[in-house]
Structure 1
Amino acid sequence: METGISFSVRQWSAWAPSLDSPEAWRLWADGDTDIPKGEAVPDVRDLPAGQRRRLSRLGKIALRVAMDVEAEETPRVVFSSRNGNVTEMLSLLKSLAVEDPVSPTGFGMSVHNSLAGMLSIVSKNRESHTAIAAGGESLCLGLIEAITSLKEDPTSPVLLLHADETLPDFYAPFQETDMPVCALALLVGGAKPGEEAYSLGFSGIQTRVKKGDPLKSFIRFLLRGDADWNWSGAEGDWWCRRHA
């Protein structure tokens, strides 16, 4: 099934350990290595101190890339993540297991849409936001949500914010792929005549071998200028085409 919706990528930002600038990402995209691993955390000192203290590592990664995208208009926001703030949730569960009081702040930040809400507070964005959790295809469903939002209103941009990190050791047996610690923000808008555009499609039939998390190959597709991106998930084949 093709979405039949063309869209443009007006701006992008990404962060991963050792990859904290557009130049670093372009050098990485030209090679064939995995997204680096590490315990690094992005610099978020430009965020208000009170909000900054509430953010987990995933929150800092997600808000860093979102704030690095400067939109001329206030965008609607789609947040997608496979596991969300699972480290915060595990901490709450451990507290419950030993009958310790549960932190209200910790509970609030563990909800799947909490980072989209935090972004709206920090950026004073009163536009709508949506949170997506769709397993290994969370990035793909986030894209679908973003571009169908564009179909409803092509004049208003949409910020797709996708962020994930590897599961804590407690949940490691449930991690199907070597999921990178990474966040990607895409500001997408309606395609204008003569502007480079993209189209997204989904077949509903899996014809290729599933190859890990889609984020790494999708970022390379964007930065290399490739004509096509293809990825297969549990629900079927996904593709994205670039149009001049």
Structure 2
Amino acid sequence: MRFEFILLEWSAYADGLTHHRDWLRWAEGFPQLPGATVETVPALTEMPAMMRRRVDRLGRLACQVAYWCEAADDAPMVFASRYGDATRSLALLGDLVQGQPLSPAGFGLSVHNAISALYSIAQGHTGNTVVVAAGRASVAAALTEAAALLADGAPEVLVVYYEAPLPGHYAEFEDEAACEYAWAWRVAVPGHSGYPGRDASPLLKLELSVDESGGAANPGTAAWPAGLAVLHHVLQAIAVPQATVPEALIRHDRAGSQWAWSAHA
């Protein structure tokens, strides 16, 4: 399977990295994983106060990058995260173990589509929203969903990806570097009427194939979560467009398969 997109707009948030210039400077140098947790959580002033009170730490990161990368009215959206708001969900499981009653509000905000729902309600968005969780391959699954929506006729799709380290004793189950971050992309079909052409916007390619070799992922970002590795690869192509085009980013985030990502500014 092969997919192509143009990147109309992007935004991202991690520890010490909020503005475009910060991220592009980060992408230019030797890859370094951002801090495990964000020191300053976004204020999310774009969201009405009564709604904002219901959005927790990870939700603020996800909603903030979505606001910064706001899509056209009722354009489809894809929200994706491997674990979502695991802190809230695992706290509810702890209450169950102790025989405590569950908070209806807490339960409602713990489901995997809660963050996208809060953002949609605040924005008055009534279009299609897909929420994805696919383990280590969640970012690839998110872009696959976006490709399907574009193929179905959507002029553009807003993709929002967000992650946070597993809390407390559950951290021992981490199988990749833990990091708190979020990013958003507005993507469209290359050459779509009314949108920039290939020379004006970065062109992204994603290919899924059977992994027969069991080869290793790219050095430098091999142990990174796929969401950050892919973001770094794409921003590198934007930050140094005159340099040699980076080799494709190869990921083996799902047994028996290989994801190849390439980006051209």
TM-score by length of 2: 0.85
Which string of whole-angstrom CA distances, capped at 9 and with x for unpartnered residues, describes residues 50-75 of structure 1?
Answer: 11111111111110101111334432
Alignment partner for residue 221 of structure 1, among 233, 242, 249? 233
Moved more, 212-221 or 122-131: 212-221
Show the counterpart of 2:191: 192
**1:208 and 2:215 are equivalent in the alignment:** yes
Whether the aligned pair in 2 keeps the contact of 1:54 and 1:105 (CA below 8 Å) is no
Report the secondary structure of 2:210's partner residue: coil
Report the secondary structure of 1:83's partner residue: coil
Whether the aligned pair in 1 keeps the contact of 2:7 and 2:186 (CA below 8 Å) is yes
Whether the aligned pair in 1 keeps the contact of 2:36 and 2:178 (CA below 8 Å) is no
Q: For 2:260, give the aligned amino acid.
A: W
Show the counterpart of 1:37: 36
Alignment partners' CA distance in 2, 1:123 and 1:199: 30
Show the counterpart of 1:166: 165
Identity, % of aligned positions: 30
Where in structure 1 do 4 or more consecutive aligned residues deviate above 6 Å?
Answer: none
How many residues are treated as equivalent by the alignment? 241
Alignment partners' CA distance in 1, 2:7 and 2:116: 20
Shift in Å at residue 198 of structure 1? 2.2
**CA 25–243 in structure 1, closer or farther in 2 if over 3 Å, else same:** closer
Report the secondary structure of 2:252's partner residue: strand
Show the counterpart of 2:12: 14
Q: For 2:261, give the aligned amino acid.
A: C
Give the gaps of 5 or more residues in structure 1.
Answer: none
Shift in Å at residue 140 of structure 1? 0.8
**1:234 and 2:254 are equivalent in the alignment:** yes
TM-score by length of 1: 0.92
Alignment partners' CA distance in 1, 2:63 and 2:124: 13
Shift in Å at residue 123 of structure 1? 1.2
Alignment partners' CA distance in 2, 1:83 and 1:72: 28
Give the gaps of 5 or more residues in structure 2.
Answer: 238-244
Whether the aligned pair in 2 keeps the contact of 1:35 and 1:216 (CA below 8 Å) is no
**CA 18–116 in structure 1, closer or farther in 2 if over 3 Å, else same:** same
Q: For 2:262, give the aligned amino acid.
A: R
